C-alpha cells in the first residue's frame, strides 16, 4: 500500500488515502472530493475550481495525471 494526501492529489486537506494502485487512490480522492463538495467545504471547492480550469485542456490534465501517477509510483511501500 502507498499513501498520498488529499493535498498531494489536488485537494485541500491532509486526509490520507492508502491504496495499491494509482487508479484506486485517484478514485478515493475523487469520492472524498465529492463529499466535500456536497457539504460545501470552501478550500475543497477552490481546489476543485482549479482542477476544472486544468481540465479545460486535455493535454494539461493528462500531464497532471501522469505526474501524479509517477509521484505515486515513486513512493515507498508502507502497510
Binding residues (CB under 5 A) for Zn ion: these are 6, 11, 13, 15
- H or E stretch including 67? helix 58-74
Smallest separation (angstroms) from Zn ion to the CB of 46: 12
For residue 76, give the DSSP letter. Answer: P
CB 1, CB 19: distance < 8 Å: yes
Q: How far is CA 38 from CA 33, 52, 56, 62, in A?
A: 9, 17, 23, 26
**Residue with Cβ nearer Zn ion (39 or 74):** 39
Q: Please identify which residue in the block is written with the cell numbers 495525471.
A: 65
**Residue with Cβ nearer Zn ion (11 or 26):** 11
Smallest separation (angstroms) from Zn ion to the CB of 59: 26
**Residue with Cβ nearer Zn ion (4 or 6):** 6
Smallest separation (angstroms) from Zn ion to the CB of 76: 22
Amino acid at each position: 500500500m502507498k499513501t498520498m494526501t488529499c493535498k498531494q492529489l489536488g485537494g485541500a486537506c491532509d486526509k490520507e488515502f492508502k491504496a495499491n494502485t494509482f487508479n484506486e487512490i485517484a478514485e478515493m480522492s475523487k469520492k472524498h472530493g465529492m463529499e466535500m463538495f456536497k457539504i460545501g467545504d470552501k478550500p475543497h471547492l477552490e481546489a476543485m475550481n482549479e482542477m476544472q480550469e486544468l481540465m479545460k485542456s486535455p493535454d494539461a490534465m493528462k500531464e497532471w495525471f501522469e505526474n501524479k501517477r509517477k509521484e505515486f509510483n515513486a513512493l515507498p511501500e508502507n502497510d
